Amino acid sequence: MSQSDYLFTSESVSEGHPDKVCDRISDAIVDAFLAGDPLSRVALETLATTNFVVLAGEVRGPESLTHERLEQIARDAIKDIGYDQEGFSWKDAQVISRVHAQSADIAMGVDAGAEKDEGAGDQGIMFGYACTETEHLMPAPLAFSHAILKSMADARHAGESAFGPDSKSQVTLRYVNGRPVGATSIVVSTQHAEGVSQEEIREKVRPHVLKALPEGWMCPEAEFYVNPTGRFVIGGPDGDTGLTGRKIIVDTYGGAAPHGGGAFSGKDPTKVDRSAAYAARYLAKNVVAAGLAEKCVIQLSYAIGVSKPLSIYVDTSGTGKVDETHLANVLMEVMDLSPRGIREHLQLARPIYARTAAYGHFGRAPEADGGFSWEKTDLVPSLKSAFGA
């Protein structure tokens, strides 16, 4: 039997966190390839440390995206995040590209041909989740963790604060009868300028926390931790080496739902690690938005080179109003879950990924140019009709 009264914690990290710097660079390069050719193939990893960035991976796309161009894209991403400090600057960091052509063996298995549809770029399992805890149908601890850091980043970009680019947040909520009712502790660590006191930073952080939380949800003062080590001047890749794809729980559901293990950033939408995870979120969100369940977990599985999903699993954690097996069958009918079907349904072959690299891939508003298309709830009428709702 599941608990009804408990504490649950999720964390987020800012766009200037070392791993997120790498995610941003990798996704900016994905966008550049897709802008040049929507059928580009990209699997791009980034490593960043003190004034040093390495790009590595396999690509197939426009020849205009030379090593020099990729290096400039990396610098532009670092500049946009806001790094121009001793130890890591967009101006003088060394950037090395070791990107090379996609394996012909992988291309043979993945590309469509006269006798086969486009296959999955790899084997794997992908999960999607939605719940009624927030208006965007996301777990509340993660949603609030993201909101705190996004508010702080907006203030920094507007020149209104002493925050540095690198920061982290962590929110613990109390649940009563399975519903969140308030925060019991909040942790925020943020990079700052030399000479700024811990108490000053604490008071600069406070309004961003209050803005993110519902009224009356603030934790007790003794459980409000800001820069608990007392000092955070050296930050970003100068303080800690970053790698693409190391913040997958931050990217998804904050630990409130399973994760298949694959990262998203740096991958074009033929990679089911990314596209099928987006599709699973899309389906789960539409199930909850249609009122068919208060919580919904969806698992999809694939084999490299095979177009159809090997399985679909639906779990509504006892909150469902319809049979889960029947629901799984209906979901397969309302959406083609082949890699091509997902890519076309959600229109993923567009340069819309750099914006996903921080503050979560899910729970964001769909955008006019197709960004976050997997957050739409346009399947609700079809799902309601299928169940006579």
Q: Which residues define the annotated binding site?
A: 17, 19, 45, 58, 102, 166-168, 231-232, 240, 246-247, 263, 267, 271
Four-point Cα dihedral 223, 224, 230, 231, nearest 10? 140
Q: Name the binding residues for ATP.
A: 17, 166-168, 231-232, 240, 246-247, 263, 267
SS3 271: coil
Q: Name the binding residues for L-methionine.
A: 58, 102, 240, 271
SS3 157: helix
DSSP code for 346: T
The pair of three-digit structure tokens given for residue 270, joined into one six-digit string: 């033929």
Q: How far apart are CA 320 and CA 197, in angstroms?
A: 50
Q: How far apart are CA 14 and CA 19, in angstroms?
A: 9
Q: Name the binding residues for Mg(2+).
A: 19
Count of positions (residues) in the chain: 389
Q: Name the binding residues for K(+).
A: 45
Q: How far apart are CA 292 and CA 313, in angstroms?
A: 16
Q: How far apart are CA 84 and CA 90, in angstroms?
A: 6
**Residues in a beta bridge with 171:** 10, 186
CB-count burial class (<10 Å; 0-12, 13-18, 19+) for 40: buried
The pair of three-digit structure tokens given for residue 60, joined into one six-digit string: 């197939």
